[in-house]
A and B are shown apart, each in its own frame.
Chain A
Amino acid sequence: MLPRRHSFVYNLIIFILAQLVWLAVLLLWIYWYVKNNLIFEQVGEKISPQIVYDAPSVFPFVGGIVLLTGLSVSLVLIFRHLNIQIKINALYDNFIANVTHELKSPLSSIQLYLETLNSRDVPEDKRKEFYGLMIRDSERLKSLVNSILEIAAMDKKKIQRNFEIYKADEIIKKIVLESAEQFQVPENSIKFSGDAGCDILIDRNSIKTVFDNLVDNAIKYSLSEPQIEIKFKRYFKKIEIEFADNGIGIAHDEIKKIFQKFHRIYDKDIPNVKGTGLGLYVVKEIIKTHKGKVSGSSEGKGMGSKFKIELPIYTDKKKSAKEKKKG
């Protein structure tokens, strides 16, 4: 049976066949040229041996080979692009399946609790518990929808951000604790250290999305209760926020890929981690719009992960320049 159309094997077969055809054409070309050359030489010698035989121009020969090689290189390029496209399509299909699952799970849960409350006589304490669970599910939905909308807007560069000046330590602590509460990480599992003592210009909602993703990852990729450590470091023009967790860590060859769109890590110790592969891509893009940088590191599997976020310090100079501009 032939492999499925658009599959890698299918394209590989076509590519190999095309290369064989190309090689055959090249051989035929050389054969034709050499044979014609010999005939020309023999006939020429028979008709007028006195004519000094001049070697024919090699231009058509070399030109032909160059053109054929050009054809082969084009084929290789087409093959490469096609395979990249196939890979993107596969990632996209996987993304759609993951998003469907991520949307349907909290939606099913909300529907189940609403129908339960509607059809049963639920005691007051249970009612409160169900409301709480529904709020958590709707937060999960909101965060997923926000991520998708953020990606769409980012891709079209149409995102509206509301930048404001904040005290760096204060706002980051506040945002991290909000994320922790949303994902039900106990407050004593989060430690802050260091001191930034400066201002930053950020869009609060976007930075919340950044820490939502980091906290969510810390929970999902952790075999036990997550422990999160946030360190602030101040440099000359920037501050560094280090977000470290005690999760399963990241394998060395995965580090470079984690910020890629749709990329997801599979680990046999924690199989079937739910997600869309958008989280860290969104993080990277948001930090980029804040003129900052983000990088990931891990000392290896089982050693936890570290994310370093660098953001520019907002100074009075910038402030006055901004005010002047306004004025």
Chain B
Amino acid sequence: MNDEQLENSKILLVEDEENLAHGLEYNLTEEGYKVTRAKDGREAIKLFDENTFDLIVLDIMLPYFNGFEVAKHVRLKQPQMPILMLTARTQFEDRVKGLEIGADDYLTKPFHLKELLLRIKGMLRRKKWYQKIVSDSPVYKFGNNEINFENFKCKKDKNTFQLTSYEAMIMKYLIDNKDKVVSRKELLENVWNMNPEVETRTVDNFIVRLRKYFEDDPSNPKFIISVRSAGYIFQDV
């Protein structure tokens, strides 16, 4: 994808540390993004509700509403919105909580400017790629399942549930490569944009979750099949 297409992307920067926010705003503006700043969770939610953004850079320790609460609010309204959590917290539980709520990426302070900018670019690119491929056929049906790739809503028989953005992107990637073996590395490269912090085991964990959603018997899968030492294959039987 041409990087010029990413210019003018609107970023909501939620950071209560004035100095850090100022430096981030300067750098993101220099990259060609349009930045709106929020200094606390309350302002972030207000700005998010009243404007449209392409990506959110979100701190966790915020006044009024913390980053997790803001992410929850955003996910309810716009499941596809990329969220990059930026925080001083390094505890494993915090990372897991952030990713479970639906943050797409997690960067701990202090961070390298180059890495932050690359991740933001990667997330914006992925969003555009996803929007493009989804716009042609937003709903996919297989077995008793139905996935809407626009709003991440799914149906299995009479049950409805919501996927996170990563879960939806993995399913989209597997479905687009139906009947072909997709390696873990390939998924990492294309869905996570080769995030060095994500291990291949993370892919396996996501697959376990997806099987629970879509398979009648997750221990004996019919749709998402493991191929020993190669990866996964999606079969629409």
Which residues of A come within 8 Å of B, CB atoms?
Answer: 97, 100-101, 104-109, 111-113, 115-116, 119-120, 126, 130, 133, 136-137, 270-272, 274
Residue of A whose beta carbon sits closest to that of B40: A272
Contact B113 A105, beta carbon cutoff 8 Å: no
Taking CB atoms, residues of chain A closer than 8 Å to B61 are 101, 272, 274
Taking CB atoms, residues of chain A closer than 8 Å to B63 are 270-272
Taking CB atoms, residues of chain A closer than 8 Å to B66 are 272
* Cross-chain pairs A/B with CB under 8 angstroms, 8 sampled: A109-B20, A111-B110, A115-B112, A116-B27, A137-B19, A271-B63, A272-B64, A274-B61
A107–B110 alpha-carbon span in the complex (Å): 6
Residue of B whose beta carbon sits closest to that of A121: B30
A306–B23 alpha-carbon span in the complex (Å): 36
Q: Is the interface of B mostly helix, strand, loop or mixed?
A: loop
Return B154 CB to nearest CB of chain A, in Å: 31
Residue of A whose beta carbon sits closest to that of B66: A272
Q: Chain B, 32-44, contact with A by CB distance < 8 Å: what is the 0/1 string?
A: 0000000010000
Taking CB atoms, residues of chain B closer than 8 Å to A97 are 89
Taking CB atoms, residues of chain A closer than 8 Å to B112 are 111, 115
A115–B26 alpha-carbon span in the complex (Å): 12
B11 within 8 A of A: no
Segment 33-89 of B: residues with Cβ below 8 Å from A: 40, 61-64, 66, 88-89
Taking CB atoms, residues of chain B closer than 8 Å to A130 are 23
A115–B17 alpha-carbon span in the complex (Å): 18
Contact A105 B88, beta carbon cutoff 8 Å: yes
Contact B30 A120, beta carbon cutoff 8 Å: yes
Contact B17 A112, beta carbon cutoff 8 Å: no
A160–B111 alpha-carbon span in the complex (Å): 37
- Known pairs A101-B88, A116-B27, A133-B23; A108 contacts B110 (CB<8 A): yes
Contact B64 A136, beta carbon cutoff 8 Å: no
Excluding A101-B88, A106-B19, 7 further A-B contacts by CB distance (< 8 Å) are: A100-B90, A101-B89, A108-B110, A112-B24, A116-B26, A270-B63, A272-B62
Contact B19 A109, beta carbon cutoff 8 Å: yes
Contact B114 A107, beta carbon cutoff 8 Å: no
Name, among B90, B113, B114, the residue most crowded by chain A CB atoms within 10 Å (CB to CB). Answer: B113
Taking CB atoms, residues of chain B closer than 8 Å to A108 are 17, 20, 88, 109-111
Taking CB atoms, residues of chain A closer than 8 Å to B180 are none
Taking CB atoms, residues of chain B closer than 8 Å to A270 are 63
- Looking at the complex, which one of A104, A113, A274 makes contact with B109 (CB distance below 8 Å)? A104
Segment 110-158 of B: residues with Cβ below 8 Å from A: 110-114
Contact A133 B19, beta carbon cutoff 8 Å: yes
Q: Is the interface of A mostly helix, strand, loop or mixed?
A: helix
Contact A107 B19, beta carbon cutoff 8 Å: no
- Known pairs A101-B61, A101-B88, A271-B64; A133 contacts B111 (CB<8 A): no
- Known pairs A100-B88, A133-B19; A119 contacts B26 (CB<8 A): no
B97 within 8 A of A: no
A108–B88 alpha-carbon span in the complex (Å): 9
Return A45 CB to nearest CB of chain B, in Å: 73
B215 within 8 A of A: no
B209 within 8 A of A: no
A130–B23 alpha-carbon span in the complex (Å): 8
B212 within 8 A of A: no
Residue of B whose beta carbon sits closest to that of A107: B110
Residue of B whose beta carbon sits closest to that of A137: B19
Taking CB atoms, residues of chain A closer than 8 Å to B16 are 272
Taking CB atoms, residues of chain B closer than 8 Å to A111 are 110-113
- Looking at the complex, which one of A105, A120, A271, A272 makes contact with B20 (CB distance below 8 Å)? A105
Contact B23 A112, beta carbon cutoff 8 Å: yes
Taking CB atoms, residues of chain B closer than 8 Å to A133 are 19, 22-23
Contact B23 A109, beta carbon cutoff 8 Å: yes
Residue of A whose beta carbon sits closest to that of B21: A109
Contact A112 B88, beta carbon cutoff 8 Å: no
